[in-house]
């Protein structure tokens, strides 16, 4: 479980950034409509965490 803090530390942002490209691997795999929707929602939420971080550096 996470340790709650006032701000998200850079190491956590780095972990999330490394996970985001893996969502692209789901595009070629069979998923139910609901699972695909939920996976996209999760990806968007995680991307939002990264992009709102002061450590975010667009590539």
For 43-55, how does the pLDDT look when each residue is reduced to its tens digit (9 = 90+)? 999 999 999 999 8
Residue 4 lies in a domain: no
Question: How many residues can be counted in the chain?
Answer: 59
3-class SS at 40? helix
Residue 22 lies in a domain: yes
Q: Which is it for the CA torsion 42, 48, 53, 58, positive or negative?
A: positive
- The parent domain of residue 32 ranges over 10-51
pTM of the predicted protein model = 0.84
For 10-22, how does the pLDDT look when each residue is reduced to its tens digit (9 = 90+)? 999 999 999 999 9
Residue 23 lies in a domain: yes
Side-chain-facing half-sphere of 26: CA atoms under 13 Å = 16
Q: Give 42 or 3, the one with higher predicted confidence.
A: 42
**CA 48 to CA 30: how far, in whole Å?**
26
């Amino acid at each position: 479980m996470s340790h709650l803090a006032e701000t998200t530390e850079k190491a956590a942002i780095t972990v999330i950034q490394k996970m985001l490209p893996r969502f692209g691997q789901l595009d070629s795999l069979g998923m139910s409509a609901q699972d695909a929707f939920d996976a996209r929602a999760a990806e968007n939420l995680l991307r939002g965490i990264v992009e709102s971080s002061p450590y975010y550096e667009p590539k």
